[in-house]
Structure 1
């Protein structure tokens, strides 16, 4: 940092108070000076001779060229904008330094990932039109003179998307990943199987998609109305499509975590393979109503082998360190009434049906660990005894996270009242139908993922925070966007920015500029111009 400050002193530049650029999430340290650097048609982007660094430079050049109409090129080594490898260990894997002077911009990082996050900051220092999908040549492309050092608070900063209740097309999934990356989040949690649809091709079990991806109809209106639309619904991703998404995410330094639900939320799988359930003679049908079903996997050896075979294909497909197995909302009714389940409880000396669920989870955890991966489950996996290598997602409040951290397990905080983006965000009378609850922008922003109840050592197990998006009532990508942003923007700052640097009033001011960026990106955020279908309408010819 010293050499950056010396540069500013040598230039005779002064720190400007009260003129902070509108960067989200807010960086760790910012020093501003009077003046600006102007990008011109012959601007070049320099980068180390390394594939990942060159890729970051190429993505920046592409965005700058598209919005400015200039032909911005990349080069090896130094440029007008330079990406440079730093030896500063304090930056870690994801931190960066950005220095803008009258001569140009330098972004230093230890890794290409850190440089990529520095690029996101640089884009936000330019006029909002830099995010335009078409050239806006009349704009003066300037960057304020500044020195920035930026390191994230948490290593895990995620956003989840449920595509089981309502299937989302590949192009929208890519846009979702783009927005994750723009906000310096690094995890995309892809919820792929549930009662209402199985959305991932498994080659060993083709009926999971030929049968399990289709339901005969969908609930119409709110759950309390108990009405149905009578329209068949289907959709799934082939493994080739998933590979396409994974490459897209990798290019943007976003890790994709697959979720394969077990032992509950299994109805779509049981519709395809009824022998895996409690009653092999029952005709199971893919779920058409929302909520929780009693139909769950029966933990026979055949079922466990099925789950391991499915996970083998998933693990082969997804490079993610983490594999999510759900583990939530598993009713025990059928196990209580099953002679096989009760005999298994006695045979394995388990305490009760919660112990039986733990038995299943531990078996799967052992399998995933043997494959060199880590298992994640919702906080119900604490019931009956926590599997030794499990990471817990605490969604039913913060208590599960506290318990897991005190038992030296890693935790991702996802408590419903702060981060569930299917809740209403305004008066329900003025909004399209949603599941219920109320979580506005201020509440999401106010969240602190590290519980006060934890000691310093225990708090190290809090990996980070994630926003969850359940799509029972989100039939279209436009409505997903309406519910997710800008609350997910707030959560990006919760995950990145230090607790001491957060301020909602300041965030709200920066957000007004950020909304202009979202406008150019065509995001149907809450508060954007919309029609009576709550779909985005491009602002009147800017």
Structure 2
């Protein structure tokens, strides 16, 4: 694919829709077109509306069938397709026009609709725009649209290595991508945790490398049952089916085969590929960064080339992603054989060896007509000029790649990482603790300050990524990805000067309704009201606000769900202890997110969930799931995975208090950098199952040091419970306390106790 440099500059310079009033009168189109001129009147779709295509134009007919199916799915009447002859009155007409590639013209008047494009891709995107306009209301607004994308690469990366998705579930994601004009599915098919693609020359990659022993509750079964291995793989026929399905929707599937790192699954299947020649001790069930790299023997390159030849045969895209990230080189450093190879090749260090390794693979792929894409680490030892750099560590990495003449794709962490949480709410799904909000992503500027026009021309696209360590179901994937992926779609398609948060956010009810029509789950939590309680005499003050600040909040105190006509929240409410308060966000009289049942009570006032506690200690904070139950909904904690520590700032314990902790378990299955991290933890003294230690925090550093206030033992019932447990202790009167910190002592490294919530009720 040749990168589409910024197109239609005159159109891009047109004024954007910055006025909220103007946004309110503008249809919800995502991504926003290059040029949109409203006209008078509307076009009404009826059961008699035909779709006209030129005679003998099979591509146009296929697009017409797709448009008919999309409209029918959206509740419109099934339309008849007419081929050849004069265009009937009141028809939707597809014709070949002047614009090439993905560009199209769309004319809508009360008399009919015309989609014009030279290429099938343009016809399809014009049809998508018609579908979107049809979902805005009972009729299409008359308008003249000239449209073309800003970037050639508008991507989404799906990780199927950590958790798999079915073929049907991937097709549903492809449908949603196509509905917003995304055109690249980057498919992450292998990693330390699993090999997911059938390779006929090496069957053990899937018979061994596609299966792992689950951790935590996934591995537990009542006797005499044994654990069920977790895993699976896609056959080559299934992969071809997905490729064809995507191609019919203008989506190119780019496979990723990770090397030289993230290779534990492959080395587990074929230990001779690794540096040690042995099955990795670490196993495949941990998350994180493993030290297992391929060796640099000719036999290993023969293996990789054979594998890649089969991959190339399945995926016709001119690109192949080779990973290249997070290759921890301590095994290479410790190997006399590897060190001798570095010397024989005249290389400076292990980074240069990685560059040599990747360039050798790139040269082989070039003979197959493939250009490599790699994460930005491949720059560190030097990369071939033709290599495309996927800049995940920030805009600066994209700028660095561009300065060296590399084409680059911006996929900056955490903004473009769909496994980052979307708000600070305790109701968000599990995932990374870093924040990537819908608004922050939509308003992100993908071009580094100071880039020259020549360097900016090397930015060929943007991409969102989802890594699935914490997304064990396809529904969870969708919930984390949407609606943020629609914002990425607009970043990839729409010129910066044409993007406008007011216009985009005003159309969110329509966009979310489209996702519902497609059967795609999406996260409503950032739209939902969050409550803050404060004492107000013998009553309670309740402040409401949503994370995104979009729409208006309506509330009810009669126990019923709020509607668009319920009282409008404008200032803090003063309510009695125990009042029944429900709240919901509305925009354009349509609900955004779900109804919040708000606990208006003194106990809620004195409670903080783990997401609202501070952290101390050496930790990597994550939103992690409990061990239990094996299937269905699990509690989610905000915790650290090495030495977790929670801090309640300015705790009121001057006269003593009762502390109640709601706790649960998560498995410890993490690696970092040089292998399984040395984890320092204290053994419990009051119970063999663990204990919660509460201290008066006397330092502001990274540790929880200070006077112990209470030790809460954990009993056998809590240790084996499928869910949450409560433990309680009295805190003695302690003057001068600002902060209270809490840590767990535990019997071993392979389990973690975590706080779900803490209540501190001061003595009076």
Aligned position for 2:92: 81
Contact persistence 1:259–1:324 (CA under 8 A): yes
- Measured in 2, the distance between the counterparts of 1:67 and 1:437 equals 36
SS of equivalent to 1:52: helix
User: 1:21: Cα distance to partner?
Assistant: 1.1
Equivalent of residue 132 in structure 2, options 121, 124, 133: 124
Answer whether contact 1:164 1:198 (CA < 8 A) is retained: yes
* 2:172–2:520 contact (8 Å) kept in structure 1: no
Aligned counterpart, 2:35: 29
Q: Contact 1:274–1:284 (CA<8 Å) still a contact in 2?
A: no
Q: What's the offset of the Cα at 1:66?
A: 4.7
Tell whether 2:73 aligns with 1:62. no
Structure 1 residue 45 and structure 2 residue 42: aligned? Answer: no
In the alignment, which of 255, 258, 281 is matched to residue 258 of structure 1? 255
- 1:281 Cα shift? 3.6
Structure with the larger strand share: 2
The unaligned stretches of length 5 or more in structure 1 are 1-15, 130-140, 222-228, 535-542
2:414 equivalent to 1:417: yes
Separation in structure 1 between the aligned mates of residue 23 and residue 255 of structure 2, nearest angstrom:
45
Q: Which piece of structure 1 moves more, 278-287 or 184-193?
A: 278-287
Q: How does 1:68-147 map to 2 (within 5 A)?
A: 68=75, 70-77=77-84, 78-79=87-88, 80-87=91-98, 91-127=99-135, 141-147=138-144
Post-superposition offset of 1:319: 0.6
Counterparts of 2:386 and 2:155, CA distance in 1: 21
Normalized against structure 2, the TM-score is what? 0.63
Structure of greater Rg:
2
> Does the CA contact (< 8 Å) of 2:210 and 2:232 recur in 1?
yes
8 Å contact from structure 1 (residues 212, 286) kept in 2: no
2:294 and 2:438 map into 1 onto residues whose CA distance is: 38
Deviates more, 1:64-73 or 1:274-283: 64-73
Q: Is the 8 A contact 1:278 1:334 kept in 2?
A: yes
What is residue 454 of structure 1 aligned with on the other side?
A: 451
Q: CA deviation at 1:230?
A: 6.1
1:448-497 deviation line (CA, Å, top 9, x unaligned): 22223321112111101000000000011111111000111111111111
| Partner Cα separation in structure 1 for residue 201 and residue 229 of structure 2 | 25
- In terms of fraction of residues, the more helix-rich structure is 1
Is this contact kept in 1: 2:175–2:518, CA < 8 A?
no
The alpha carbon displacement at 1:284 in A equals: 5.4
Please state whether the residue corresponding to 2:233 is helix, strand or coil. coil
Partner of 2:197: 200
User: Quick one: higher RCO (CA 8 Å, sep 6+), 1 or 2?
Assistant: 1
| Cα distance in 2 between the residues matched to 1:377 and 1:447 | 23
Are the counterparts in 1 of residues 23 and 502 from structure 2 also a CA contact under 8 Å? no
Contact kept in structure 2, 1:294 and 1:330, CA below 8 Å: yes
The RMSD of aligned alpha carbons is 2.2
TM-score w.r.t. the length of structure 1 is: 0.88
Counterpart position of 2:149: 152
- Kindly state the Cα deviation for residue 382 of structure 1 after the two structures are TM-superposed: 0.4
Match of 1:370 among 367, 371, 377: 367
Q: Which runs of 4+ in 1 moved over 6 A?
A: none
Deviations 1:103-151 (A, max 9, x none): 110011121101111111101111358xxxxxxxxxxx42111111111
Q: Would you say the 8 A contact 2:373–2:389 is kept in 1?
A: yes
Structure 2 residue runs without a partner (length 5+): 1-21, 219-225, 525-592, 597-631, 635-764
Matched pairs, number: 499
Q: CA deviation at 1:407?
A: 1.1
